[in-house]
Amino acid sequence: MSWNNVNQPLHEYLRYYARITPNKEAIIFYGKTITYQELDDLSDRFAMFLHSSGIKKGDKVALFLPNCPQYIICHFGIQKIGAIVGPCSPMFKEWELAYEVNDLGAKAIVALEQLHPIVDQVRNHSSIELVITTSYIDFLPEIPQPEFPEKIPPKKSLADCIDLIQIFQSKMANPPRIELDVENDVSLIVYTSGSTGQPKGAMLTYRNALYKSFCVAQTRNTTAQDISLSIMPICHIAGMLGMNVVIFTGGTLVLLNRFTPESAMDVIERYQVTVAQTVVPMNIAIMKHPDANKVNFRSLRLNACTSFGIPLTEEISNQWMELTGVGLFESAYGLSETHTADTLMSEGAVKFGTTGKPVLETEIKIMSIDEPRREVPIGEEGEIIVKNPGVFKGYLNKPEATAQTLRNGWVYTGDIGKLDQEGYLFFLGRIKEMIKCSGYSVFPEDVEIMLMNHPAISQAAVIGVPDSVRGESVKAFVVIKPEFQTRITEEEIIRWSKEKMAAYKYPRYVEFRESLPVTGTGKLLRRLLADEEKEKANYKEVVHEKN
């Protein structure tokens, strides 16, 4: 298949496979199967419900859902009528959800029932007109296989909400066929960060998603015969791309709500999984499990992996090869603004320490950090810039931020890297102050704004510090108001933050300061705090070596 002949939105591939392989399993969720015909029909019903409720082309619908079939159904249902998907992390607390739905201007939200209390706190102070709720119960068999990772409360009737299962059970006409400009119409807005500020909504088109699905399928030889394991959160761009590739190729997606070594081993053997996307700690957890040698992994043909917390090494890959029969390789380099996967590694061309080579129709340059218009020679470090058909339309309602990142079709990533003679990309770090915690992006200003809601805090600054498990953890430097200085401790701030922020985001460390470093114009100098932390870490290392 040629990329030039690929010009339909992904939901049209769903419709195609529903016609030619109606009874094939599209999704397997703890033993519950959904065929292509069922997935197409359910997403049609949701699309028609939205249409009949006044949701139009270009309107935004937020999805406040963890990994579950309902996410996939609603995602494609929204896009079938030309509306825009706005994924919200299911780990969000009130302030985080309020910021995102208000920035989106979301007219509707689909939420897990357990998350409804957070939605309820937000809805009256937002643009939300329609709340749809759903329960895991609706798409789980009586005895989930493997065991479901959390206790599910009984379903309940919620005032001013519509039960998603009732929409699915209704007899509705097919949704209208909306005329779409695949190249230019926005189908998805995912939140990301520039060098400063709160999260920004990156506007991605139908073609952006289609292009990256094609690139992954081509590079990894993914076909309709593949059974793909999906563990990564599908509300995030990398997990979403894995979902899209399956729909594009007509394969089967084995969906897990979250990772445990037991559940991953179970489904790989039970459903004969052929393709897996993991992070290194997942593979290590499986290899350390006492029952790992009893599992039949031989169906696996490919396991792309992401260094996270623990770098992927050839030694780890060889250990995985010994257990399963396939090696590991670094999956990709990419960012939300390009629908990720700007470089990809394939199992036949592995080079450890790199993130692979640029994909089809992708240009990558390394620009001097000191002279941003100068491209540096092969082997030298600089800022990674990217140009390809996956590049976003810009940030929602943020023209200045768009102009800073998107220049003449090139995305200036804020990441540092280098290219070698063979064209492999080495990712070396971030110019941005964004913090990566447990694979999630944490934006310093976002956490700082929430910390300022604490009655005892007058100033706050946030940086990332190394963490052997999470990759990075958040550390907050705070200035306490005089009247609270003897009445509150760092531990109390941490406990308060844990209640108010997502688990990956709240500060694990808090340090009280009399003042914070700022420029003459009052701009916070987080880098000075980061430098101090590095000096402390280096000093401790030297002292340890001497002792």
Given this model, what pLDDT does residue 521 score?
47
Residue 466, preceding peptide bond in cis (omega within 30° of 0)? no
Of the options 3.30.457.10, 1.20.1730.10, 3.40.30.10, 3.30.300.30, the CATH number for the domain spanning 435-546: 3.30.300.30
Q: Which architecture characterizes domain 3-258 according to CATH? A: 3-Layer(aba) Sandwich (3.40)
Give me the residues paired with residue 112 across strands: 134
Given this model, what pLDDT does residue 170 score?
87
The span from the CA of 171 to the CA of 45, in Å, is 8
The span from the CA of 423 to the CA of 27, in Å, is 36
Return the domain boundaries, the chain. 3-258, 331-430, 435-546
310 to 297, 349, 467, 471: CA distances (angstroms): 23, 22, 10, 8
The span from the CA of 413 to the CA of 420, in Å, is 19
The bridge status of strand 425-430 relative to strand 275-279 is unpaired
Q: Say whether domain 331-430 belongs to CATH 2.30.38.10.
A: yes
The C-alpha angle with vertex 489 and arms to 486 and 492, in degrees rounded to 5, equals 135
The C-alpha angle with vertex 27 and arms to 22 and 28, in degrees rounded to 5, equals 120
Given this model, what pLDDT does residue 204 score?
98
What are the helix (H) ranges across 90-186? 94-104, 116-123, 164-169
Name the token pair of 85.
Answer: 């998907």
359 to 355, 356, 372, 408, 411: CA distances (angstroms): 11, 9, 24, 20, 15
Given this model, what pLDDT does residue 441 score?
72
pLDDT along the chain (547 residues), means of 10: 82 98 98 98 97 97 98 98 97 94 98 97 95 97 94 90 95 89 97 72 98 97 98 94 98 97 98 96 95 98 87 94 97 96 95 96 94 94 95 96 96 93 89 79 82 92 91 94 93 96 95 83 76 79 54
Given this model, what pLDDT does residue 66 score?
97
Given this model, what pLDDT does residue 30 score?
98
Cβ-count burial 289-302 (b if 16+ within 10 Å, e if not): beeeeebebebbbb
The span from the CA of 199 to the CA of 395, in Å, is 10
